Structure 1
Amino acid sequence: MKIQLTDAWNKMANRLESWLNNLIINLPNIIIAIFVFVIVLFLSKYISRLTLKLLSKSSLQKSMKNVIAKLISILVIFAGLFLVLGILDLSKTLNTILAGAGVAGLAVGLALQGALANTFSGIVLSYIKQIKFGDWIESNDFEGEVIDIDLRAVTIRQPDNNLVYLPNKLVLENPIKNFSSTAQSRVILTCGVGYSSNLEFVRDLVRQTIVSNFEPVANEKDVIFIYSEFGDSSINFETRFWIDSTSALEVAKAKSEAMICIKKAFDKNDINIPFPIRTLDFPKNFKFTQEQKEG
C-alpha cells in the first residue's frame, strides 16, 4: 500500500513539474496572447464606432446601423480568439473546435431557439421601414415611442415615461400599429345632446368650435359630424377632425381640448348634455303617508 501511494505521489509530482515547465516555456506566448486579446477588445469597440460614423451618411435606419456595427464588433472578437489560439500554439484545439462546430452549433441552436429567434427578428426589424427610432407604435397591448431596437428587444417609452422591452420575436410576429406612418392623426370625439335640441344648430356649432380652436382644421368641411343614434337619454353624435401630429399622446390632448371647447360652447348656447336619469311612475290613486313625505 505504501509503495502504491509513493508511486502515485511521484506521478503527480512529475505531472505538476511538467505543467510548470510548460507554463514557464509558454509564459511569453501567454503574455502576448493576453496583450493581443485586450487590443482586440479595444479594436472591436473602435471599429464599431468607426462603422457607425461611416454609416451615418447612408440612408439606412439608425437601428440597422447599430446592428451592423455590433455584428462587425462580434466578428472582430471572434477573429481575435482564433488569433490567440494560434499564438498559444493550440492548433489541435482549434481543429477540434472547428470539427465540433457543427454538432455544437446544432446543440446551441436547439438550446437557444428563443434567443436566436429574437436576434434574427431584431435584424429584420432593423431593416424594415415600417418601424424606426422615434415612431409611436402599439404592439402586444403596449403603446409608446420607439427609443431602441437591438438584437434582443424593442424598447418603447410609454406616455407615463416607463420603459417596456418587447422581445423582437413578438413584435415581428404580431400586428404593429404605427401612429407615425402618416403626417396627421384623426381625433374622434363622441357626445350627446338633449332631445329638445336643434340638431342643425348643434352640428354647425360643433364644427365652428373645432375650426376656431384647432389650426390644422382649415374650414368646417374638414370636420366630420355624424349623428349616430337615439340614446336612452340623448341623441348621440360623433365628430372627427385631423391634427398635425403622429403621437397618440397628442391625439389624447387634442381630444381633451376639444371636449373643453365644445362644453363651453354648449353652456354658452344653453345646449344640454343629458345624463341618465330614473323616472318613477306611481298610480293615480297612490298616496304618500306622512312618514314617507317627511322621509
Structure 2
Amino acid sequence: MNDQFSIAFGNLKDKLFGWFNAIIANLPNLVLAILVFVAAFFVARYVSKLVGKLVSKRVEQKSISLVVSRIASVITVSVGLFIALGILNLSQALTSLLAGAGVVGLAVGLSLQGTLSNTVSGIVLSFRKRIRIGHWVETNGFSGEVMDINLNTFILKEADNNIVIFPNKLILENPIKNYSLTTRMRVSLECGVGYESNLEMVEQLTKETIAKTFDQVESPKDVEFYYTEFGGSSINYLCRFWIDAESLLEKLRAKTQAIIEIKKAYDEAGVNIPFPIRTLQFDNKLSINKEEVS
C-alpha cells in the first residue's frame, strides 16, 4: 500500500512539475495573449462608440445604432480572442471553437429564421434614405405616417389615428408608395353638369375658381379640364391641378376646399349639378278584363 501511494504521489509530482515547466516556458506567450485579450476589450469599447456615432448620423432609430455598435464590439472581442489563442499555439482549440460556433449559429438561425429575417429587414429599412420617420407612405393596403422603424416592426399611423404594425420583412418584400419624397401632388376632381349648361363657360369658371382658391395654381391655364362622357343625367368632366403637399391628408384637404369653392361658384352662376332622379308615373289607366266562366 505504501509503495502504491509513493508511486502515485511521484506521478502527481512529476505531472505538476511538467505543468509548471510548461507554464514557465510559455510564460511570455501567456502574458502576451492576456495583454492582447485585455486590449481587445478596450478597443471594442472604442469601436462600439465610434460605430454608434457613425450609424446615428445615418439612422434615426437608436435601437438600430445600439445593435450595430454591439455587433462591432462582439466582432472586435472575437478577433482578440482568436489572436490570443493563436499566440498560445492552441490551433486545435481554435478550430474546435470555430466549428462549435458554426453549429450553434446554424441551430440558432434555423430556430429564429423569422425573427432574424425581420431584424435584418429592419436594419436595411433604417439605412434607406427614401423611407424615414414622419414620411407619409402607402403599402400593403394601408396608408399613413411612419411612426417608428425598429428591429422587428414597421409602425404606421393612419389618418384616422389607428396604429398599424407590420413585420419588417413584409415591408421590404412589397411595393411602397412614399408621398413625402416629392413636394407636389396632383389633385383629381370629377363632377358633372346639366345638359342645359354652357360647357365653355363651365370650363372657364371651374379653372378660374381653382386658380383663385390655391396659391400654387398661378393661372387658369395651369388647371387641366377634360369632359369625359355623356352621363345618364349629366355631362361629366375631370379636373386636375397641382398643389404643394407631402401627405395624403393635405391632398384630401385641398380636394375638399376645391369642392366647396366650385359648388359656391356654380350656385352663383346658376350652373346645375344634377343627380339621378327616378320618376314614378301613376296616371296610366290599366284595364283588367275578367273572363266569366259559365
Residues 27-71 of structure 1 deviation map (CA, whole Å, 9 limit, x = unaligned) = xxxxxxxxxxxxx9xx98x98787555555x5x3435x7524322
Q: Measured at CA, do residues 278 and 211 of structure 1 come closer, stay the same or move farther in structure 2, by a change above 3 Å?
A: same
2:253 corresponds to which residue?
Answer: 253
Alpha carbons 1:52, 1:66 under 8 Å: kept: no
C-alpha displacement at 1:167, in angstroms? 1.2
C-alpha displacement at 1:162, in angstroms? 2.5
Q: Which amino acid in the other structure matches residue 253 of structure 2?
A: K
TM-score (norm 1): 0.69
The aligned runs of 1:1-295 (5 Å cut-off) are 53=53, 58=57, 60-63=58-61, 67-76=64-73, 98-280=98-280
Alpha carbons 1:225, 1:239 under 8 Å: kept: yes
Cα distance in structure 1, aligned partners of 2:124 and 2:189: 37
Alpha carbons 2:136, 2:179 under 8 Å: kept: yes
Cα distance in structure 2, aligned partners of 1:139 and 1:49: 35
Q: Measured at CA, do residues 99 and 67 of structure 1 come closer, stay the same or move farther in structure 2, by a change above 3 Å?
A: same
Rg bigger for which structure? 2
Q: Where in structure 2 are there 5+ consecutive unaligned residues?
A: 1-40, 81-92, 288-294
Alpha carbons 1:125, 1:172 under 8 Å: kept: yes
Cα distance in structure 2, aligned partners of 1:103 and 1:223: 66
SS in 1 for 2:67: helix
Q: Which amino acid in the other structure matches residue 237 of structure 2?
A: F
SS in 1 for 2:251: helix
C-alpha displacement at 1:284, in angstroms? 6.5
C-alpha displacement at 1:160, in angstroms? 2.1
Give me the identity figure in percent. Answer: 52
Cα distance in structure 1, aligned partners of 2:198 and 2:286: 37
C-alpha displacement at 1:104, in angstroms? 2.0
Q: Which amino acid in the other structure matches residue 222 of structure 1?
A: D
Alpha carbons 1:82, 1:94 under 8 Å: kept: no
2:90 corresponds to which residue?
Answer: none
Residues 137-194 of structure 1 deviation map (CA, whole Å, 9 limit, x = unaligned) = 0001111111222221222221122222211111111110111121101111111111
Alpha carbons 1:193, 1:272 under 8 Å: kept: yes
SS in 2 for 1:180: helix
Is the deviation greater in 205-214 or in 270-279?
Answer: 270-279
Q: CA RMSD in A?
A: 3.3
1:12 corresponds to which residue?
Answer: none
Alpha carbons 2:115, 2:152 under 8 Å: kept: yes
SS in 1 for 2:236: strand
Cα distance in structure 2, aligned partners of 1:211 and 1:111: 61
Alpha carbons 1:47, 1:73 under 8 Å: kept: no
Q: Measured at CA, do residues 269 and 244 of structure 1 come closer, stay the same or move farther in structure 2, by a change above 3 Å?
A: same
Q: Measured at CA, do residues 235 and 160 of structure 1 come closer, stay the same or move farther in structure 2, by a change above 3 Å?
A: same
Cα distance in structure 1, aligned partners of 2:265 and 2:112: 61
Number of residue-to-residue matches in the alignment = 237
Cα distance in structure 2, aligned partners of 1:275 and 1:264: 17
Alpha carbons 2:217, 2:241 under 8 Å: kept: yes
Cα distance in structure 1, aligned partners of 2:169 and 2:53: 29
